[in-house]
A and B are shown apart, each in its own frame.
Chain A
Amino acid sequence: MKTRDFAVHASQALSSTHRRQFCRQVVYGGLAFYGLPAFARANKPPLGQVVVVGAGFAGLTAAKYIRQWSRGNVGVTVIEPNMQFISCPQSNLVLGGSKTMDALSFSYQLAQTQHGLKWVHDQVVAISPTRKQVQLARGTLHYDKLILAPGVDFNYRPLVGMTQPVAHITHAWKAGAQTLQLRQQLTAMADGGVFVITIPKAPYRCPPGPYERACQVAHYFKQHKPRSKVIVLDANPDIVSKKGLFMQSFRGLYADIIDYRPNSEIVEIDPNTHTVKTDFETVHADLLNVIPPQLAGKIAQQAQLNNVDQRWCEVDFLTYASTIAPDIHIIGDSISAGLPKSAHMATSQAKICAAAMVDLLAGQAPNPLPVFANTCYSFVDDQQAMHVANVYRFDATKKTMIGAEGGGVSTQASLLEGQYAQAWANNIWADTLT
């Protein structure tokens, strides 16, 4: 097995005073422009080597901003098995018929060249914190600091009758082939058919996402299969996010189509007959979409970093370092937080983590008071959307990010917010991918 080790220790050659002075000048270069000292132009990154596992919203954003804010003085290697970046945001619109997969698919190449990222098209299968190494399918890699951003994994074990994924029953909760498969199943379904979507107990990725999906499928039915129904079997006691707004759509625009049923946790599924049993009833579907319970990405489980309920990873919100492995930082959907698991949140966490990582490698204290924003839009049809938006601020006593004053949701879905939702997507894609 060939060993690839990109780690450099040039930083050790610098005196710490020199390093500090130098860092004050070059770090956060957006504020001012200083000439780079000669060693900063050398090939080996003087401040160290960071390995980022996973190039989704969280990982790719962290990689970009570490390069930008260290002004190239921290080397970043990204490991990602997928060839393309496929956006989960807006993937429900593919089901509704107003977007194509091509409109959500992007090349990684611009980000790679623009920020000088080393790129390894592979998958991390194990981590050795003591040796500071990651094991790939093809080789090993050394890190000074590691960032894990593997997103979510699905847990089928609690789904009696379907304890393994089944090919013809999609989750479509990672945008890609399953999104297209579900779209094809919807177009193939006869008018008058029943579409059943199951929602796991929170927390799961994208709190408003399942309800947005119900609206998108209903939007498609309303136009093309008006006799068809959407049954939402929600394991939660109530709509998890934007409740009032989704109720407006469920009771208004889609009153004849969507049937929302709370407290409907799956007791048993029969994947052959598309039958779902809950505590109250047995529901038959013509087309079944099961969003399984979720937990931190597989590699975080493998490294035993999912120390909250054996599902999510506990982190220090100043640096996103794991509370049980100090040189491993975890961002995005994998972490345990009272924060919605959204793309905007993933990128906001990534930026705090990136800034802290540059500080730590430069021997400085990280920002003691991180503040960031989250805005999440949901589309109720092809053009109208609504938001939930909040600022979050670090609370030193509770040691976590807390919703600041203000914040809230739209009064109703609108065309104007549909335009803002599209602008949000274009801008977050640009921020992440360019």
Chain B
Amino acid sequence: MQHPLNCIIVSLLAMGLSPLGFTEPVQANSVTSLAASCYACHGPDGNSMGGTASLAGLNASYFAERMQGFKDGSMPATVMHQHAKGLTQTEILALADYFATLPRKTPKPLPYQSFKGQP
């Protein structure tokens, strides 16, 4: 289920327009690399190794509401308010739609190997 507003905004973004009517250069690729910067905490392609939320396959309106809550302070947070406040509404909605398209997967186990003594 996608939030109808998201669909409109994504269409506007596709035309190179922001919901406010001015041109804002958010492209598919900027969403992809911005989303990828979340993987340090939320796992490869949004599939968390545990301890944080998996973002892959999250319902877009749920994601957008949570982020909006972190941004305006209505949703208590340990660290997410720092990030949510730094993102624009447009970016949050674009991320919401992007994460909704990613498949939820079980991440691969980490390739641990005993330490061999490198300098």
Q: Indicate whether A368 reaches chain B with its CB closer than 8 angstroms.
A: yes
Q: Indicate whether B110 reaches chain A with its CB closer than 8 angstroms.
A: yes
Residues of B within 8 A of A122 (CB): none
Residues of A within 8 A of B110 (CB): 106, 426, 429-430, 433-434
Are B108 and A110 in touch, CB under 8 angstroms? yes
Residue pairs across A and B with CB atoms within 8 Å: the count is: 194
Residues of B within 8 A of A28 (CB): 28-29, 32
Are A431 and B78 in touch, CB under 8 angstroms? no
- Interface size in chain B (residues, C-beta < 8 A): 50
Residues of A within 8 A of B45 (CB): 30
Are B44 and A367 in touch, CB under 8 angstroms? no
Instruction: Given A84-B113, A176-B119, A344-B40, decide whether A372 and B33 contact each other with a Cβ distance below 8 A.
Output: yes
Instruction: Given A389-B82, A390-B82, A433-B111, decide whether A65 and B36 contact each other with a Cβ distance below 8 A.
Output: yes
Are B32 and A69 in touch, CB under 8 angstroms? yes
Q: Indicate whether B11 reaches chain A with its CB closer than 8 angstroms.
A: no
Are B111 and A431 in touch, CB under 8 angstroms? no
A174 to nearest B CB, angstroms?
8
Residues of B within 8 A of A368 (CB): 25
Complex: how many Å from CA A431 to CA B111? 12
Segment at the B interface, from A140-148, A305-313, A400-408: A400-408
Are A407 and B86 in touch, CB under 8 angstroms? yes
Complex: how many Å from CA A69 to CA B108? 19
Residues of A within 8 A of B115 (CB): 84, 86, 100-102, 104-105, 180
A158 to nearest B CB, angstroms?
23
Q: Which residues of A, 397-434, contact B by the 8 Å Cβ criterion?
A: 403-408, 410, 414, 416-417, 419-420, 422-424, 426-431, 433-434
Partner of A102, one of B40, B111, B112: B112
Are B108 and A430 in touch, CB under 8 angstroms? yes
Query: In this complex, what residue of B is CB-closest to A422?
Result: B51
Are A355 and B32 in touch, CB under 8 angstroms? yes
Chain A 53-95 near chain B by CB (<8 Å), digits 1 or 0: 0000000000001000100000000000011101000000000
List 23 contacting pairs A-B, 8 Å CB cutoff, sorted by A: A30-B45, A84-B113, A84-B115, A102-B112, A107-B112, A176-B118, A177-B119, A178-B119, A180-B117, A351-B37, A372-B34, A387-B82, A389-B79, A389-B83, A406-B86, A407-B82, A410-B78, A416-B78, A423-B52, A426-B49, A426-B50, A430-B107, A431-B40
Chain A to chain B: the 8 pairs with minimum beta-carbon distance, closest first: A406-B85, A391-B86, A423-B51, A404-B86, A101-B115, A372-B37, A389-B82, A426-B49
Interface residue ranges, B against A (CB under 8 Å)? 25-30, 32-34, 36-45, 48-52, 71, 78-79, 81-87, 91, 98, 101-102, 107-108, 110-119
